[in-house]
Amino acid sequence: MKATVRAHPNIALVKYWGKRDDALILPHQSSLSLTLEPIHVTTTVEFGAPSDTVELHGHAAKGSERDRVLRLLDQVRAQAGRDLGPAKVVSRGDFPMAAGLASSAAGFAALAVAGRAAAGLPQDTRASSILARRGSGSACRSVQGGFCEWMRGEREDGEDSYAVQRFDAGHWADLRMVVAILDRGEKEVKSRDGMKNTVETSPYYPAWVKDAEAEVPRARELIAKKDLEALGELCERNAWRMHSTSLAADPPLCYLNSATLGLIQHLREQRKKGVPVWFTLDAGPNPVLLTNAAHEVAAEALARACGAVDVVRCVPGGDATLLTEHLF
Ligand code: DP6
């Protein structure tokens, strides 16, 4: 009745931006990401506790944060088809910065895999990915390592909307992602609200959906060939298009700040000088740089020269895995 899982975050090369079903967390388009080490989240779930308790990163979770965890465990209870009793959840991350890189993808992936294991359900990556998706969309891509593709699916019940691993972490061990923390502050508009506003009000949204869906197989081909230059270009293009559709929302949504633009400018200059470095950008001002092992130090230096207060160098990461040591 107790299980512990370690999972890693992921960064999308082709982003997920917008839901066709808010309750089931079903996306309008497919997306493709890379799971990243060394950062991770470890989560222990135990059923049969005296009452439901959720401790996240050393604090008792409250409000919607707690509700999201308990709702996911209700799904586990329904899948187990028996009374598992209240649950105790303890989760800890080694994310070195406050709001630099969202821990929710790794957190919900760890919770889904640990919740199923604690309930005695068999290991099943598809079922775990669907469950993780119900916590946070991007979490479905953190159940497995390497390059994972979240297929949008067609069904209304979401049973065909989950992530599959296209290439494992060893496929392109030389690839690097360098997270540049320019701003540690909480973002003003969370991804969930930002994408909803964009879906509802941006006239560019249908174009985004069509384009992003078409970029996924292209990205897959470039990953197969390990073509860093072409993948870097695709990645930047996709990030710009996600941000463009949000800039066109009402009210407009701008996640970039002057430091972000400064870094992008500097990165382009470095690239002209032959440094193979590209960027992507989630719903916040902190770019993630894409490069190779030979240039990760140069990428970190570039980020620091542009005012990064923290930099995390990441390598392709592995699957969410069960651990024998529990957090309580
Ligand atoms: C910009 O997965 O955090 O990082 O499904 O509402 O929980 P919810 O959103 P979330 O959004 C991630 C958006 C993104 C792009 C991506 O990771 O694909």
Q: Is residue 37 part of a domain?
A: yes
Same domain, 191 and 96: no
Is residue 149 pLDDT above 70, yes or no? Answer: yes
pLDDT over 60 (residue 126): yes
Is there a domain that residue 88 lies in? yes
- Residue written as tokens 């980020």? 303
Separation of CA 191 and ligand 1 centre (Å): 6
Q: Which of 32-46, 66-80, 178-192 has the lowest mean pLDDT?
A: 178-192
What's the pLDDT score for residue 186? 73
Question: Which atom of ligand 1 is closest in space to residue 136's alpha carbon?
Answer: 7
Give residue-wise pLDDT tens across range 220-272.
Answer: 999 999 999 999 999 999 999 999 999 999 999 999 999 999 999 999 999 99
Is the same domain home to 203 and 143?
no
The CATH number of whichever domain residue 89 belongs to comes to 3.30.230.10
Residue that finishes a domain, picked among 124, 147, 170: 170
Q: Which of 21, 26, 34, 191 to mutate to test the pocket of ligand 1 (most atoms within 8 A of CB)?
A: 191
- Give percent above pLDDT 90 in the chain: 93
Per-residue pLDDT, 184: 82
Q: What is the pLDDT of residue 20?
A: 98
On whether residue 326 sits in a domain, the answer given is: no
195 CA from centroid of ligand 1 (Å): 8
Q: Of 170, 188, 209, which residue sits at a domain end?
A: 170
Sequence-ordered list of residues with C-beta below 8 angstroms from that of 42, at least 6 positions apart, any chain: 4, 5, 6, 91, 92, 93, 110, 323, 327
Displacement of CA 293 from its chain's centroid (Å) = 22
In a domain, 328, yes or no: no
- pLDDT tens-digit profile of 199-234? 999 999 999 999 999 999 999 999 999 999 999 999
Q: Tell me the CA–centroid distance for residue 281 and ligand 1, in Å.
A: 12
Rg (CA), the chain: 19
Closest CA to 26 of 130, 115, 106, 166: 130
Rounded CA-CA distance 298/293 in Å is 10
Query: Is 100 inside a domain boundary?
Result: yes
Pocket-forming residues, ligand 1, beta carbon under 6 Å: 12, 15-17, 25, 31, 102, 104, 136-138, 191-192, 282-283
Considering the domain architecture, whether residues 197 and 248 belong to the same structural domain is answered as yes
| Pocket test residue of 138, 208, 238 for ligand 1, highest count of atoms within 8 A of CB | 138
Confidence (pLDDT) at 96: 61
Which tokens in the block code for residue 309?
A: 């207060």
Q: Which of 16, 111, 256 to mutate to test the pocket of ligand 1 (most atoms within 8 A of CB)?
A: 16
Structural domain boundaries enclosing 159:
2-170
Question: Are residue 111 and residue 179 in the same domain, yes or no?
Answer: no
Residues 180, 165 share a domain? no
Closest ligand 1 atom number to CA of residue 104: 3
The answer as to whether 322 is a domain residue is: no
Closest residue by Cα to residue 172 from 215, 225, 236: 225
Q: Which of 170, 186, 221 is the last residue before a domain boundary?
A: 170
Give the whole-angstrom CA distance, residue 196 versus residue 249: 10
Which residue, among 300, 221, 220, has the nearest Cα to 33 in the 3D structure?
A: 220
Q: Are residues 133 and 240 in the same domain?
A: no
pLDDT score at 103: 79
CATH number, domain with residue 184 = 3.30.70.890
Nearest-atom index, ligand 1, CA of 137: 5
Atom of ligand 1 nearest to the CA of 190: 3
Residue nearest to ligand 1 atom 12, measured at CA: 138
Number of domains in the chain: 2
Alpha-carbon gap, residue 27 to 102, rounded angstroms = 19
pLDDT digits (tens, 9 = 90+) for 80-123: 999 899 999 999 998 765 445 667 999 999 999 999 999 999 99
Give just the sign of the alpha carbon dihedral 244, 246, 252, 254.
negative
Full-model pTM: 0.97
